[in-house]
Amino acid sequence: MYYSFFIGPAGSGKSSLVECVSKWLADHNIDVTTVNLDPGVLTLPYGADVDVRNYVDIERIILDYNLGPNGALIAAADIMVAKINEIQKEIQDLGNEIVLVDTPGQMELFTYRSSGPFIIESFGRKNCMVFFLIDPTLAKNPSDFVSILLLSLSTQFRFNTPQINLLTKTDLISDFELEKILKWSSEPYSLLESLNNEASGIYRELAIQLYYSLENIGLLSELHPVSIKDVTGIEKIYGQISRIFLGGEDSYLRQ
């Protein structure tokens, strides 16, 4: 089983993308399992095949432990870890090779607490990859772009699995803005130039040092634009899943 985790800041489009990719796969006769690991979500745009809310009742936790919503989500993450074998068995029983995993809105719950790394370890690190979602509203200025890449980098550092950055909601920005952000990613020198023009003094020095760190690590490449409204970039997501797990652009489609 190959697990693709959709991780990103609140509202970056994780659940919508899981819905869109699963529909695209189903339309191409590729079996897929969708998993919701967000215990706090009220409604989902897709029918989750496996849903953590069947294992963790957030309202019960609030009442039983007299916790506020954030404390309850932290407790829920711990309960989710305790139930991970049952959740994994439910996924395995469905028998589909491709598994799309939606993660909590508060990404720190999954990424920075022990639950996320523990779950990836339980599923088997070599069977897991991460799609990190970048909302273009958080990447409009060069320094914003560097900041969100640092968040992506810390996610990669935390999970140590193959990771692809996605620029989501591209239908909401102009072609000019889209090209600018993609150019920062594909031609790093243009980002350096923009940073030089944007900031001054010590802040500019810091931004440029961060830029060089990101470039050295190779994080300034591979930013894939996607939109669920235009249904663009979805095939590329499947291409990345195939490439990372199966070693071919569309090895499934050829079968």
Residue 105 lies near ligand GTP (rule: CB under 6 A) = yes
Residue of minimal CB distance from ligand GTP? Answer: 105
Q: How far apart are CA 131 and CA 154, in angstroms?
A: 13
With tokens 């970048």, the residue in question is: 134
Residue 116 lies near ligand GTP (rule: CB under 6 A) = no
From Mg ion, ligand GTP, none, which one binds at residue 233 (CB under 5 to 8 Å depending on kind)? none
CB of 135 to ligand GTP, least distance (A): 8
Residue selected from 49, 78, 144, 171 as contacting ligand GTP according to rule CB under 6 A: 171
Token pair of 23, please? 């529909």
> If phi over 0 gives left and psi between -120 and 50 gives alpha, with beta otherwise, what is residue 95?
left
φ, ψ of residue 164 in degrees (nearest 5): -120, 130
Can you give the binding site for Mg ion, defined by CB under 5 A?
Answer: 14-15
Q: How far apart are CA 223 and CA 221, in angstroms?
A: 6
Sheet order of strands, 163-167 included:
50-51, 32-36, 98-102, 2-7, 128-134, 163-167, 223-225
Residue 224 lies near ligand GTP (rule: CB under 6 A) = no
Residue selected from 60, 126, 140, 229 as contacting ligand GTP according to rule CB under 6 A: 229
Q: How far apart are CA 199 and CA 85, in angstroms?
A: 49
Residue selected from 2, 5, 7, 14 as contacting ligand GTP according to rule CB under 6 A: 14
Window contacting ligand GTP (CB under 6 A); options: 3-11, 64-72, 198-206, 210-218: 3-11
Number of Cβ within a 10 Å radius of residue 3? 24
Closer residue to ligand GTP, CB minimum distance, 3 or 6: 6
Residue 180 lies near ligand GTP (rule: CB under 6 A) = no
Token pair of 120, please? 């990836």
CB of 119 to ligand GTP, least distance (A): 17
Which stretches of the chain bind ligand GTP, using CB under 6 A? Answer: 8, 10-16, 38, 105, 168-169, 171-172, 227-229
